[in-house]
Structure 1
Amino acid sequence: MKAMQGKTGWALLLAAAIAFPLVVPNSYFLTVMTLAFIYAIATLGLNLLTGYTGQLNLAHGGFMAIGAYTVGILTVDHQLPFWLAFALSGVVCMAFGYVVGVVSLRLKGHYFSIFTMCVGYIIYLLIEKWEGLTHGTVGLIGIPVPAAIGPVTFDSVPAQYYLVLTFLVIGMFIMHRIVSSLLGRSFLAVRNSDALAEALGINLMRTKVLSFVLSVGYAGFAGALYAGQVRFLGPDIARTDVTFDMVMAMLVGGTGTLLGPLLGAVLVPWVTQTLQFLQDYRMLVFGPVLILLIIFFPDGIVGSYLKKQARRAAAARRGQHVSARPGNVQPPVPTTRPGAENA
């Protein structure tokens, strides 16, 4: 894990991701990894709101569905170019997120989470029942693949993999810039204490709404990529199970970190696929494993490692401070045995 810190670690991860299709040419594995990257983008957005601002949005999967259906409806029913529909998917999600955020963020704690869970269920019902717009339970069929960019086409599975990887890298870079900026510190202040944040002059409502809008924007773009990858949409994409999968990935990796949601979003689908042979019983194995992970790594894999490193660094600083105090000078260690001079 230590080798994965800093720019070198991120460069190694990127190199491994680029080389993955060359090492594993099987299209099924590439498809699984592509979908994992899409969910990683959405989980990054959820982590911004939960890990950095302290608000748990249980409608995150619903916003991902809004982004996906925006692309599906605009391309299938209105024949808009894919990339124009892709851009509008993020705009629609963030606009809807602004309205929901202004209303819901007046609530705190679990009241906010319960409200957003209701919002997610409403989104699911609208997709299922509004047949004139969403095609209902029949679903949207024939969503086009992402349009070519110059000579580069995205008709093949490896091409779609690299396209999603590109957006994941861009999303990670933007998220790094956000959390490392003054805005990111404002989010952390709100997470730690509303009263402290207000004392520092931070506008609580504006900061929370901005975090919510940025968070669902990530979900919207992830949904748009999902629509171009799967090319079929049904109401199931808006189920609360999708949101809980993202929450699980975030908890496994570690909230409030950049690497944690990425690790969790990639690890959870592969573990689920590995237990696929158990069919309906795989959750009986996966559930206890997740519980043990939360018990022994309550901050997630990455979060627990970072806390352990912080404790070691603090202990080392305390040791240096004690040794530097006046009166703590130790006598020099003799280089020869006592009496050796007379031997």
Structure 2
Amino acid sequence: MIAKPTQKYIIFALILVAVLFPLISQNNYFIHILTLSYIWMIAVYGLNIVAGYTGYLSFSHAGFFAIGAYAQGLLTVKAGIAFWIAFALALIITTSLGFLVGLISLRTKEHFFAIYTLCVGYVIYLLIDKWDSLTEGVRGLMGIPNPGNIGPLSFTSATAKYYLILAFLLLTILVNYRIVNSLIGRTFIAIRNSEQLALSLGISTTRNKLLAFVLSAFFAGLAGALYAGFIRFLGPEIGSITITFDLLIYLIVGGIGTLSGPIVGTLLIVLLSQNLQFLEEYRMLIFGPILVLLILFSPRGLVGFISDWKLKIREGKSVSTERPAKIEKGA
């Protein structure tokens, strides 16, 4: 993992730029793209907990994102529940389903776990796509309300939504930071490094893996509920496996198992995608080789690459300072 001071500097610098951005740029299009990026970052942080820190790759992540989004949409549009009450219920629904899926899926290991979660994600997508009477199917769910007012604060403008979702992102980063630097986080990492060794140390791997999976589902549901309130239209494609692969690419490029990786990877890929819109049909021909090269030469992503580079520099300096002392001693 990248050194803690470096991670803090990266995260702090990105947060400072994010807070000041609407004050610098009045372009609503860029504000929209960045707001959407923050939603994806929240989802990627959830994926990072289960894949980056426990080593279990879940392909049902987009499914839980869609559950959070559709729970928010259906509760507000069809049940007529106020936005923030529906928001809390959407998180409870997503987390509860994550708990039930995790109870079964975590009985499997390695590629069997990945295959099972892939099937779960596809079942969720099919339910959304085919259950027309509830989800409106391919027609999509429209008319989702804006986030409700909190006291004097209104969230109807693009800038207000930007800061609201940024606040949730900052809270997500803080929670992830506390988890990773706690006993629970070290337990997750122990399971990732060697599950058998963790068992021999008396760690309940099943309980901790389930906790990681539930936390992952919670953040996916949080991102989905925010997405519903931001876009205000939902279609079945948000639960497709393509979304999971996109989130996984963001995580791998930024740095899997790092705190700043979800921010770096999501920002980089989203901004590149926006600048390569004229190559929409062929963009994977560009991203594909880049991703392969990154996995081969820097499996810990860009953040891991920076960490390794700084470590080599420090080691080089320490070696250069030790050599004169050895020569003097020999003389």
For Structure 1 versus Structure 2, the TM-score category normalised by the shorter chain is over 0.9
**What's the counterpart of residue 231 of structure 2?**
230
**Partner-residue secondary structure (3-state), 2:148:** coil
Question: Deviation at 1:309?
Answer: 2.9
Give the Cα separation in 2 of the matches to 1:181 and 1:3: 14
* CA-to-aligned-CA distance 1:242-283 (integer Å, 9 cap, x gap): 000000000100101010111111111111111101231222
Give the Cα separation in 1 of the matches to 2:97 and 2:34: 29
Q: Output the amino acid matched with 1:61.
A: A
Give the Cα separation in 2 of the matches to 1:122 and 1:83: 28
**What's the counterpart of residue 306 of structure 1?**
307
Q: Is the 2:106–2:209 Cα contact (8 Å) retained in structure 1?
A: yes
* CA-to-aligned-CA distance 1:65-122 (integer Å, 9 cap, x gap): 0000010000001111111111111111111011111101111111110110000000
Q: Tell me how many residue pairs correspond in the alignment.
A: 330
**What's the counterpart of residue 241 of structure 1?**
242
**What's the counterpart of residue 120 of structure 1?**
121
Give the Cα separation in 1 of the matches to 2:258 and 2:7: 13
Question: Deviation at 1:132?
Answer: 2.3
Give the Cα separation in 1 of the matches to 2:49 and 2:19: 26
Superposed, 1:86-165 pairs within 5 Å as 86-165=87-166
Deviates more, 1:313-322 or 1:188-197: 313-322
**What's the counterpart of residue 73 of structure 2?**
72
Task: Summarize the Cα distance change of 1:196–1:322 in structure 2 as closer, same or farther, 3 Å threshold.
Answer: farther
**What's the counterpart of residue 329 of structure 2?**
329
Q: Is the 1:43–1:246 Cα contact (8 Å) retained in structure 2?
A: yes
Give the Cα separation in 1 of the matches to 2:9 and 2:316: 26
Q: Is the 1:4–1:12 Cα contact (8 Å) retained in structure 2?
A: no
Q: CA RMSD in A?
A: 2.2
* CA-to-aligned-CA distance 1:18-57 (integer Å, 9 cap, x gap): 1111222111111111111100000001001111000000
**Partner-residue secondary structure (3-state), 1:166:** helix
Task: Summarize the Cα distance change of 1:282–1:3 in structure 2 as closer, same or farther, 3 Å threshold.
Answer: same
**Partner-residue secondary structure (3-state), 2:329:** coil
Question: Deviation at 1:130?
Answer: 1.4
* CA-to-aligned-CA distance 1:198-228 (integer Å, 9 cap, x gap): 1111101101000000011000000000000
Decide which structure has the larger Cα Rg and report it: 1
Deviates more, 1:311-320 or 1:14-23: 311-320
Q: Is the 1:66–1:220 Cα contact (8 Å) retained in structure 2?
A: yes
Q: Does 1:190 align with 2:204?
A: no
Give the Cα separation in 2 of the matches to 1:217 and 1:317: 44
Give the Cα separation in 2 of the matches to 1:162 and 1:82: 17
Superposed, 1:37-76 pairs within 5 Å as 37-76=38-77
Question: Deviation at 1:298?
Answer: 2.3
Normalised TM-score (structure 1): 0.90
Give the Cα separation in 2 of the matches to 1:320 and 1:170: 43
Give the Cα separation in 2 of the matches to 1:296 and 1:24: 36
Task: Summarize the Cα distance change of 1:171–1:23 in structure 2 as closer, same or farther, 3 Å threshold.
Answer: same
**Partner-residue secondary structure (3-state), 1:56:** coil
Task: Summarize the Cα distance change of 1:153–1:284 in structure 2 as closer, same or farther, 3 Å threshold.
Answer: same
Listed as ranges, the gaps of 5+ residues in structure 2 are none
Task: Summarize the Cα distance change of 1:199–1:272 in structure 2 as closer, same or farther, 3 Å threshold.
Answer: same
Q: Output the amino acid matched with 1:305.
A: I
